[in-house]
Amino acid sequence: MASFATPVDVSVLVSVASDKGADDKPSFATERRVTPSWTVLQLKAKLETMTGIPPSSQRLRLKSPGHEYQWMDEDDQAIGRWSIGKGCEIEVHDQRPVAARPNYTDVSTTEKFELPDSTYESLPNSVLAWKKAQKLGRFDPNATTPEEIAREQVQKDTNEIKTKGIKISERVIILPSTPPHVRRGTVKFVGPVPAIPSPLSKSHSGEIPKDLAPIWVGVELDEPTGKNDGSVNGERYFTCLKNCGVFVKPEKLDVGDYPPLGLDLDDDMEEI
């Protein structure tokens, strides 16, 4: 035989309080019917199937419109004694430490173990020690240094700019560029952009020397499909409308007679 809610059942909102504060959205919220004659412990047992929180770890708070919030701390008392009515919310607080909860993924409040670089470098059985022994990566005496790699990239960028004729005011398209995803614009800047991290950023505490700084081309796009307004991290290199600016490597550009994107007035008139 099917079971039906009794007339005394009340529909309330059930939510799980966030650990980040009262103003943060609950991690779970749903509406269900409760019977005022249930004890607090009975209610907790039913809420466990919804929230996954064991009854012994639950603390319930009743939120009633127009009334002060009340803690429902007496497990053997009927929940009706707290004047539960339509429009109320029962907020479930998980009393377990956050790191002890199953499926815990938020590590923002978990204390992290950090190993100082000097200690790690002194370990005999680390990956770093193995690389040193095998003379791999930066420990290879014949390996190309990061500075040499950066210098080669700068030379490559310089050659691309010279070969393609990339300079201020030239019209360009950004590659790859196939209809309908064609992005075209005007060159507004050519040179190093220190605000954009480079492979040498980690190994240089100060400003990277100009002969090692990657070269970028700043383009003002015809349409707002870019990423900035000509500035990066507060540093301005040229000025354009919001989302009409983009910085790209020289090899990603093609210079040519690319007229600005405009409106086809004849088609517009036919649709009016």
Domains of the chain, by residue range, sit at 10-100, 149-255
Residue 241 has a CB neighbour count (10 Å cut-off) of: 12
| CATH top class, domain 10-100 | alpha beta
Give per-residue pLDDT as tens, 164-187: 999 999 999 999 877 777 899 999
Segment 83-110 mean pLDDT: 78
- Please check the confidence at residue 105 and state whether its pLDDT lies above 80: no
Query: At the top level of CATH, which class does the domain 149-255 belong to?
Result: mainly beta
| pLDDT for 269 | 43
b/e sequence 112-145, b meaning 16+ C-beta within 10 Å = eeeeeeeeeeeeeeeeeeeeeeeeeeeeeeeeee
pLDDT at 239: 95
Q: What is the pLDDT of residue 168?
A: 96
More confident residue, 43 or 17: 43
What does pLDDT average to over the chain?
A: 84
| Residue range 113-137: mean pLDDT, rounded | 87
- pTM of the full structure: 0.47
pLDDT the model gives residue 4 = 52
pLDDT at position 9 over 90: no
The encoded tokens of residue 198 equal 């480079």
Q: What is the pLDDT of residues 190-224, one digit of tens each?
A: 999 888 877 776 666 666 777 788 899 999 999 99
Residue 272 confidence (pLDDT): 42
Q: What is the reported pLDDT for 136? A: 84
